């Protein structure tokens, strides 16, 4: 056992369940930091374990690392996160969870309504015409998908920018 209170990357990995490569990655992403020995090896202060544990919580919550980094921006690297720090961060994450839950509940409602309709009368289906993009126009070309890009699609982790494309074919 080492005498001082700095941990090697292997020790941190053993205590957090993370691979060294993941710790390197988090460091590149600015989520954690380390000092170096004379021979360029990483040494972590003990309180970095707390920070890493917050990252792991966020991971379990499905928070993307970029958002974690954003939440960490005002937590200094060189001290333990305080109770107030954690409460501030966790409140934000709680809101994220609530949003996702509500989005899922909405989808469930739509889906249940849609099972009844058999989705064979497509123009009246909420699932096929989300956000009421297409009014009551019954015939002719229809846009079925086109999520309308309002970040409201919180259930699906799509990354591509939405297609910018003119409506249907000219009649």
Interface with DNA (CB under 7 A) = 2, 8-11, 13, 18-22, 24-26, 34, 37-42, 59, 64-66, 158-160, 163
Q: Which residues of 68-98 are buried (b: 16+ CB within 10 A; e: fewer)?
A: beebbeebeeeeebeeebeeebeeebeebee
Least distance from C-beta 155 to DNA, angstroms? 12
Least distance from C-beta 124 to DNA, angstroms? 25
By CB under 8 A, what part of segment 128-167 binds a second copy? Answer: 128, 130, 141-147, 153, 155-158, 163, 165, 167
Q: What's the CA dihedral at 134, 136, 139, 144 to 10 degrees?
A: 30
Residue 44: Cβ-neighbour burial (10 angstroms; 0-12, 13-18, 19+): buried
Q: Which does 146 bind (CB under 5 to 8 A by kind): a second copy, DNA, none?
A: a second copy
**Which CB sits closer to DNA, 37 or 82?**
37
């Amino acid at each position: 056992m080492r005498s001082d209170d700095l941990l090697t990357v292997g020790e941190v990995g053993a205590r957090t369940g993370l691979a060294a490569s993941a710790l390197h990655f988090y460091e590149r992403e600015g989520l954690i930091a380390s000092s170096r020995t004379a021979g360029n090896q990483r040494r972590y202060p003990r309180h970095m374990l707390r920070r890493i544990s917050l990252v792991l919580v966020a991971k379990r919550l499905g928070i993307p690392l970029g958002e974690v980094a954003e939440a960490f921006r005002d937590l200094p690297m060189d001290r333990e996160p305080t109770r107030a720090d954690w409460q501030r961060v966790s409140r934000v994450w709680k809101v994220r969870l609530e949003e996702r839950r509500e989005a899922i509940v909405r989808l469930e409602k739509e889906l249940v309504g849609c099972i009844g309709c058999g989705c064979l009368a497509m123009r009246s289906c909420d699932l096929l015409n989300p956000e009421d993009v297409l009014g009551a126009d019954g015939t002719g070309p229809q846009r079925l998908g086109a999520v309308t890009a309002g970040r409201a699609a919180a259930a699906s982790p799509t990354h591509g920018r939405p297609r910018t494309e003119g409506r249907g074919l000219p009649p």
